[in-house]
Amino acid sequence: MRILSPVFAALLAACTSQTGGGDSTSQCSWPASLDPPADGGPWTWHVGHAYLICKDGPDTAACVSDDPTTCPGPNAVPGGTYTDCVNQCQSTEYAVSAGGPPQPLPDGGYANPPEPNLAACRSAGVTPAGLGFYCCPCQ
């Protein structure tokens, strides 16, 4: 999941938990129930070892990643690289992103996204579209 906007960056900075700021990627495990559904479905949450906020000049990306140095996938800004990344979770936590707007289905309807059980997790920020980021204790 990426957010590429100075406006989103300011909102994320305001919403991000100040108790995060871990500087290393956890190697902990999470419950199998958080592994991606086999069918992928129209919507899914993401789980990884770090919740990163990365910068490339004025652009900001927020993502769940297993690489503590960058967000996965190609950069949405041609030629851009996100090299200034900070893990918002501690080394004793894994990261989850969940929520957001309903996703369109092939038949034209919308899916109500499933929600993983994140009761033991702390919120690490929410985007204006309702995508939440969480840091959860290792299993």
pLDDT single digits (tens) 113-137: 667 788 999 999 988 888 899 999 9
b/e per residue, 93-113, with b = 16+ CB within 10 A? bbbbbbbbeeeeeeeeeeeeb
> What span, in angstroms and rounded, lies between the C-alpha atoms of 11 and 55?
14
How many helices, marked H, and strands, marked E, lie in the chain?
1, 9
Task: Report CA 14 to chain centroid distance, whole Å.
Answer: 16
pTM here is 0.71
More confident residue, 135 or 39: 135
Confidence category of residue 41, pLDDT binned at 50, 70, 90:
low
Supply the pLDDT for residue 26. 59
Do 60 and 12 contact (CB within 8 A), yes or no?
yes
Taken in order 16, 45, 3, 108, the sign of the CA dihedral is: negative
Q: Tell me the average pLDDT of the chain.
A: 75
Supply the pLDDT for residue 106. 76
pLDDT tens digits for range 45-83: 889 999 999 988 788 888 999 988 888 877 767 777 777
Strand pairing report for 110-111 and 122-126: unpaired
More confident residue, 38 or 8: 38
Supply the pLDDT for residue 4. 40
